[in-house]
Every structure is written in C-alpha cells, then in structure tokens.
Amino acid sequence: MDTNSYILSINRDFPSSNGFTPSLGLGAGYMSISQDTVSLNLVDIEDAFDKELNTDNIEGLDGYDKTVFTYQFKAGLSKELTEKSELYIEGAYSKTGDYSTGSGNQEIDWKGLGMYSARAGLIFKF
C-alpha cells in the first residue's frame, strides 16, 4: 500500500521566558491511497480449521486507488540555540475518513487509516 498526504496546517507557538517554545497545530487535507492486487493462499487456514474455504485455495483482493479526507493534530517543542537557530521536536497524529473498497463479496469498509509520526531537526533563520 502506498499513501501520499497533502495537509494544510495551522500552528500556534506559545513563547515562554525559559527559551522553550511549545506549539500546537491542526491540519486538514486529503490522502491518496493505492493498493496493488493481493492474493492469499488459504491452505494453512483451511488446515487449521479443518474447513474448505475456496475450491482453488486462492483468495484475491482487487487493487484500488482512493482519495479520502484526512485531518491532523500536532504538538511540538523548540529551543532557541542562538539568535538565528532553533532545535525542535514534533509529534503528529493523522487520520483519514472512512471509505470503502471493492464490491460484492470483496467489499471492505475501512474505518479510516491512522498514522503517528515524529520529527526532530534544526531551524536556521536567514
């Protein structure tokens, strides 16, 4: 599965006198999701349950391309190193809206995809 997110965020810094600056952010946008066709060999599952699931023992799931709404929450902290540089860390949670793929006996209702991410880096001011 491949995903690409495009999110517009609004961030708010909360400066303090100790040189640390906490921040919060909210974002919204969309995510494109692409999945290749998947084939499952059902032999092991059939053996485990002593049940025949499919006459050819192969189950397939068609590939798909979807674009869905996504939103994001962010929190971070930066520390001024010099007048023109800062060190920062940031954590974020992104989640898509619900969506469906496939049709008939291959239809799957997804309750959205969620992702946690973290970043750290240096900011240089010119």
Cα separation, 24 vs 91, in Å, equals: 10
What does the pLDDT look like over 19-62, one tens digit per residue?
899 999 999 999 998 888 777 666 666 667 776 666 565 666 67
Residue 31 has what pLDDT? 92
Cα separation, 39 vs 116, in Å, equals: 28
Full-model pTM: 0.71
Q: Give the chain's radius of gyration (CA, Å).
A: 22
Sheet holding 2-13, edge to edge: 2-13, 20-35, 64-82, 85-96, 114-124
Strands 114-124 and 64-82: unpaired
Q: Is the distance from CB of 117 to CB of 91 less than 8 angstroms? A: yes
Cα separation, 90 vs 7, in Å, equals: 16
What does the pLDDT look like over 88-104, one tens digit per residue?
999 999 999 998 887 77
Residue 60 has what pLDDT? 63
Q: At 17, list the tokens.
A: 């006198």
Q: Is the confidence at residue 13, as pLDDT, over 70? A: yes
Residue 3 has what pLDDT? 87
